[in-house]
Amino acid sequence: MVRAVPGWLRVGAWVFVALAAVFMLAPLVVVMGVSVSASQFIAFPPNGFSFRWYERALGSPAYLNAFWLSLNLAVLVTISASLLGGAAAIGLSRGGRSGGAVETFFLSPLVLPSIIFAIGLLMLWSAVFGPTSFQALWLAHTVIAIPYVIRTTLAVLAERDPFLEEAARTMGATRLKRLWFVTLPQCRPGLLAGAFFAFNISFDEAVLSLFLRNPNLTTLPVQIYGQLEFSPDPTVAAVSTLMILITIALMLILERMLGLTRFASG
Amino acid sequence: MSDLTLTNITKSFGKVEVLRGIDLTIRSGEFVSLLGASGCGKTTLLRIVAGLEGVSSGKVEIGGSDVTDLPPEKRDIAMMFQSYALLPHMSVSDNVRFPLRMRRVGNREEQDAKVKAALETVQLTHLADRAPRQLSGGQQQRVALARAIVSNPKVLLLDEPLSNLDARLREEMQVELIEIHRRIGLTTLFVTHDQDEALSLSDRVVLMNAGEIEQEASPREIYDAPATAYASSFLGAANLVPARIEGNVARLADGQTLPVSAGSPDGKATLALRQENVDFLDEGGLTATVITRVYLGSRHRYILDLAGQKISVLAPASVMLEPGAQARIGIAPDRVRILPA
């Protein structure tokens, strides 16, 4: 028997949904609005309409360098985090005596405040290697991206038929062939979703990048932050809008490839 | 020649002894069922033959060579799983090709021919390019069967492959399995808890109980002449009634007597009475009290109290007795199995 949802609860639910939508979307609308403002001040609603801040952003060597650094970094982090996180997830999904403890350890960057990790890594890196470098950023971003790959891959592996691998053994598949023909295809949707998360984590990560930056190592979020602090103008909003568009484009590509929505709802 | 020989197999998980000394030989082309209740060790035994489980002691020989220490991928076997275990990201034909590809059997054209032949055997050629999830349960099952027979293994292992199908489909698949086995004659070891399946499919039934072989015999023999009380209660749900043999009669607990075939030693015994062998009489015979009547359409099932023992009996629909009434029943002497008490 289905009991009717009381009216007040129904109204409450719609209010909740509306509030959530407003607070998630309104900041994006404001940023996009400011980015096409004709005025040189950051103000909403925008005064007039112009693309001059986009021109300025795309013509600024500081922003272009920061963008290429962030893109390079994000691509490398996507690869390293997917490889390491995927391998870890496959290992963890097989269980084992200390599996729970290892999983908690791998996922700890999710709960550990990243500022603590950033300070610790900066001190450690300085003590061992000296000045920070691209490698330090790559390592730092990989560490915080790995848990996302592990989570998404473990989620798809949890739903697989546990007998598939045994069946493959009875059909003559050796360990490597089972990995290639059975396990990896099963991981695919989780790995792709995890890779997408890893890219985004790295691309907009600010705390670690801020601590590990040096004059030659300024990522896009750090550049945005720096400009906001010292000489704010709508260029910041233009760059942010471009970042939003890149993310949307990535999501559409991934959706085409495997259906991110199906994964997220499954 | 034998394709599969098991010698004194034992298996323990920790302190739990699952198999206690199994000896079994399967001739080339024979269809053998491992029958038993859940937990009797039949699935573990099948997994040991596949190599998915190691033995604690004993020897497994396939096609005359010792494979006890070989992993499954190096054994010449095929196994069909209860869940079918089709690879979801591969088409039907790629699933069937998989064992040939893994074992590097022949070139692409030879593999194509074998895949086609296997799909023809299970009548699925028209679905070769579909993905497994687009198929019904029965069709997935046929794909799994095609994949199991395509590499022409020395031993075909079937782990309750019919248990996920509905009743009608299951009967169809049983007939099909019999026909396919008759045609290609693979040595087959079949695990089931369903006695009808075991009796209808096999050349030989191996009844297992608590990690040991209780009885192995042809289906007819094991049904008509179960060797133990367990065998007769498991197969065909026979009624077990304690009695004392005195020459040509068996005396029940309440003193009533029943004529039996001569030749059994006098003294305590258990009578195994099949429900379909008990007749309702107008007079004479044994007296039993009706406890319950269940209408089955073409027949009635009666639950009777016979000498303090509940027994289940099938009767024609014309026999109408109310609970509490006295029923007169008889059993032909050669239909009474006398088992040691």
Nearest to A173 among B73, B77, B89 (CB): B73
User: Both B219 and B305 in a single domain?
Assistant: no
User: Both B262 and B212 in a single domain?
Assistant: no
pLDDT computed for residue A44 by the predictor: 78
ipTM of the complex: 0.78
Domain boundary residue, one of B224, B245, B276: B224
Residue B229 lies in a domain: no
3-state secondary structure at position B29: coil
Assess contact for A163 and B85: CB atoms under 8 A: yes
CATH number at residue B244: 2.40.50.140
Average pLDDT over residues B10-25: 94
Task: Tell me how far apart the alpha carbons of residues A72 and B95 are, in angstroms, rounded to a whole number.
Answer: 40
Residue B232 lies in a domain: no
Query: How many domains is chain B partitioned into structurally?
Result: 2
Average pLDDT over residues A178-204: 92
Min Cα–Cα distance to chain A from B312, Å: 40
Radius of gyration over alpha carbons of chain B, in Å? Answer: 24
Residue A266 pLDDT grade (very low, low, confident, very high; cuts 50, 70, 90): very low
> What is the extent of the structural domain holding B334?
237-340
Residue B327 lies in a domain: yes
User: Both B218 and B262 in a single domain?
Assistant: no
User: Both B121 and B43 in a single domain?
Assistant: yes
> Cβ of A168 under 8 Å from any chain B Cβ?
yes
Closest CA to B115 of B129, B134, B132: B129
In the predicted structure, residue A260 carries a pLDDT above the cut 60: no
Considering only CB atoms, which chain B residues are within 8 Å of A181? 87, 98, 102
CB pairs A-B closer than 8 Å: 63
User: For the whole model, what pTM was predicted?
Assistant: 0.77
pLDDT tens column, B156-205 = 999 998 888 887 888 888 888 888 898 888 999 999 998 888 888 899 99
Tokens (6 digits) for A145: 């991206």
User: Both B78 and B122 in a single domain?
Assistant: yes
User: Both B78 and B217 in a single domain?
Assistant: yes
In chain A, the N- to C-terminal Cα span, in Å, equals 26
> Cβ of A96 under 8 Å from any chain B Cβ?
no
Assess contact for B115 and B188: CB atoms under 8 A: no
Query: How many C-beta atoms lie closer than 10 Å to residue B120's C-beta?
Result: 11
User: Both B242 and B164 in a single domain?
Assistant: no
User: Both B118 and B185 in a single domain?
Assistant: yes
CATH number at residue B184: 3.40.50.300
Average pLDDT over residues B110-136: 93
Residue B255 lies in a domain: yes
Assess contact for B91 and B128: CB atoms under 8 A: yes
Nearest CA in chain A to B82: A163
Contact (CB<8Å) B89/A185:
yes
Residue B110 lies in a domain: yes
User: Both B259 and B218 in a single domain?
Assistant: no
Tokens (6 digits) for A66: 């920061």
Considering only CB atoms, which chain B residues are within 8 Å of A173? 73, 98, 102
Assess contact for B270 and B340: CB atoms under 8 A: yes
User: Both B210 and B182 in a single domain?
Assistant: yes
pLDDT tens column, A130-151 = 899 999 999 999 999 999 999 9
User: Both B104 and B220 in a single domain?
Assistant: yes
pLDDT computed for residue A263 by the predictor: 46
Query: Could you tell me if residue B152 is left (phi over 0), alpha (psi between -120 and 50 degrees) or otherwise beta?
Result: left
Min Cα–Cα distance to chain A from B89, Å: 7
Domain boundary residue, one of B174, B202, B224: B224
pLDDT computed for residue B273 by the predictor: 86
In the predicted structure, residue A252 carries a pLDDT above the cut 60: yes
Considering only CB atoms, which chain B residues are within 8 Å of A185? 87, 89
Nearest CA in chain B to A187: B89
Average pLDDT over residues A224-236: 87
Domain boundary residue, one of B224, B257, B291: B224
Nearest to A172 among B73, B82, B85 (CB): B73
Task: Tell me how far apart the alpha carbons of residues B114 and A83 are, in angstroms, rounded to a whole number.
Answer: 37
Considering only CB atoms, which chain B residues are within 8 Å of A168? 87, 98, 102
Chain centroid to CA B318 = 33
Tokens (6 digits) for A136: 């330090």
Considering only CB atoms, which chain B residues are within 8 Å of A190? none
Residues facing residue B305 across a β-bridge = B289, B310
pLDDT tens column, B268-312 = 888 888 888 888 888 888 889 999 998 888 888 899 999 888 888
In the predicted structure, residue A77 carries a pLDDT above the cut 50: yes
Q: Which residue of B67, B81, B82, B189 to mutate against A (max A Cβ within 10 Å)?
A: B81
Nearest CA in chain B to A180: B102
pLDDT tens column, B236-272 = 667 888 889 888 888 888 888 888 887 778 888 888 8
Whether the CA torsion B250, B251, B254, B256 is positive or negative: it is positive
Task: Tell me how far apart the alpha carbons of residues B27 and B30 are, in angstroms, rounded to a whole number.
Answer: 5
Contact (CB<8Å) B87/A182:
yes
Contact (CB<8Å) A169/B52:
yes
- Give residue B197's identity as a one-letter amino acid code: E
Task: Tell me how far apart the alpha carbons of residues B102 and B111 are, in angstroms, rounded to a whole number.
Answer: 11
Considering only CB atoms, which chain A residues are within 8 Å of B82? 163
Residue B9 lies in a domain: yes
User: Mean pLDDT over all residues of chain B?
Assistant: 90
Q: Within chain A, what is the greatest distance between any pair of CA atoms?
A: 71
- Window 188-227 of A: residues touching B by CB (8 A cutoff) are 188
Contact (CB<8Å) B83/A161:
yes
Q: Which residue of A161, A170, A188 to mutate against B (max B Cβ within 10 Å)?
A: A170
Domains along chain A with CATH numbers: 61-265 (1.10.3720.10)
Average pLDDT over residues A60-73: 92
Residue B191 lies in a domain: yes
> Cβ of A187 under 8 Å from any chain B Cβ?
no
User: Both B211 and B242 in a single domain?
Assistant: no
pLDDT tens column, B60-80 = 999 989 999 999 999 999 999
Average pLDDT over residues A77-96: 92
pLDDT computed for residue B237 by the predictor: 65
3-state secondary structure at position B161: coil
Tokens (6 digits) for A153: 């891959």
Contact (CB<8Å) B51/A169:
yes
